[in-house]
Structure 1
């Protein structure tokens, strides 16, 4: 393998800068205020539990690590945008993961929403998930490409 030349370094630098600019423009994270995510009654331990649960569900559904990372970023962007009561956290989490799968996974890998809900043990209806999808998409202006740490790893490792 030959060492990277000046052109390769310039291309890598451009890719990293473009991805970083997009992340800086779009990235939002939930803010903690008085021990809860601002505008909600969701505490740090509840947030952490739902992230662990999302990872477990991602593994059960056989989604890629990219899908899990994007699902977490979608959830974070949503929590930074809306005032979310705790009772909707799991619905928001599973819907964020499903939306991430629709972006990253092959159609054959994604089961129906009804089947995913059965596998996850969630008590939400398909209609509730579809309604939450519309809410998330509207709040995020239909832009689900959010740079994740894995995007940066891919850029560096492929160049």
Structure 2
């Protein structure tokens, strides 16, 4: 992508190029095979249901749209990396959202893991969430941040 003209356009071009290059290195999407996400028993409808649920949880916790988008990206990268079972999907999803909140939200906005679990209605223990955090961090090589569609909207709208 090449912009002609002002210094501001050149700065925008560098910013977009940098984000696109990082995205190309990190981005992985779950692949559908046989009606399920490859290596799992997670159907597209179950995946869609969990993303809608994550949106509801993000609103319940009063997280930003950036946090929700990053939570979904973390979940997608995880699903593309591991062979997941549907019985763990909700735990993976809520943990992805909690990790995204730790990156994007102010400390005052994030409740304790225990309070988040109570608010979400999840029947997971704090130990299960912490264990899932370690698994996600390990599988994604501690590199959770990836550009989200919301980031690109902000870049383009600020020009």
Please, what TM-score do these two structures have when normalized by structure 1? 0.96
Instruction: Report the counterpart of residue 22 of structure 2 in structure 1.
Output: 22
Give, in whole Å, the separation in 2 of the partners of 1:107 and 1:88: 27
Secondary structure at the residue paired with 1:13?
helix
Give, in whole Å, the separation in 2 of the partners of 1:109 and 1:146: 22
| Gap runs ≥5 in structure 2 | none
Alpha-carbon deviation of 1:55?
A: 0.1
Write out aligned runs for 1:9-48 (5 A).
9-48=9-48
Please, what TM-score do these two structures have when normalized by structure 2? 0.96
State the Cα deviation string for residues 70-114 of structure 1 (Å, max 9, x = none). Answer: 000000000000000000000000000000000000000000000
State the Cα deviation string for residues 36-80 of structure 1 (Å, max 9, x = none). Answer: 000000000000000000000000000000000000000000000
Instruction: Report the counterpart of residue 144 of structure 2 in structure 1.
Output: 144
- Which runs of at least 4 in structure 1 moved beyond 3 Å after TM superposition? none
| Gap runs ≥5 in structure 1 | none
Give, in whole Å, the separation in 1 of the partners of 2:36 and 2:157: 37
Once superposed, what is the RMSD of the aligned Cα atoms? 0.6
Instruction: Report the counterpart of residue 109 of structure 1 in structure 2.
Output: 109
Instruction: Report the counterpart of residue 125 of structure 2 in structure 1.
Output: 125
Give, in whole Å, the separation in 2 of the partners of 1:6 and 1:114: 51
Alpha-carbon deviation of 1:155?
A: 1.1
Alpha-carbon deviation of 1:125?
A: 0.2
Q: How many positions carry a matched residue from both structures?
A: 155
Alpha-carbon deviation of 1:156?
A: 1.3
Give, in whole Å, the separation in 2 of the partners of 1:26 and 1:138: 14
Alpha-carbon deviation of 1:154?
A: 1.1
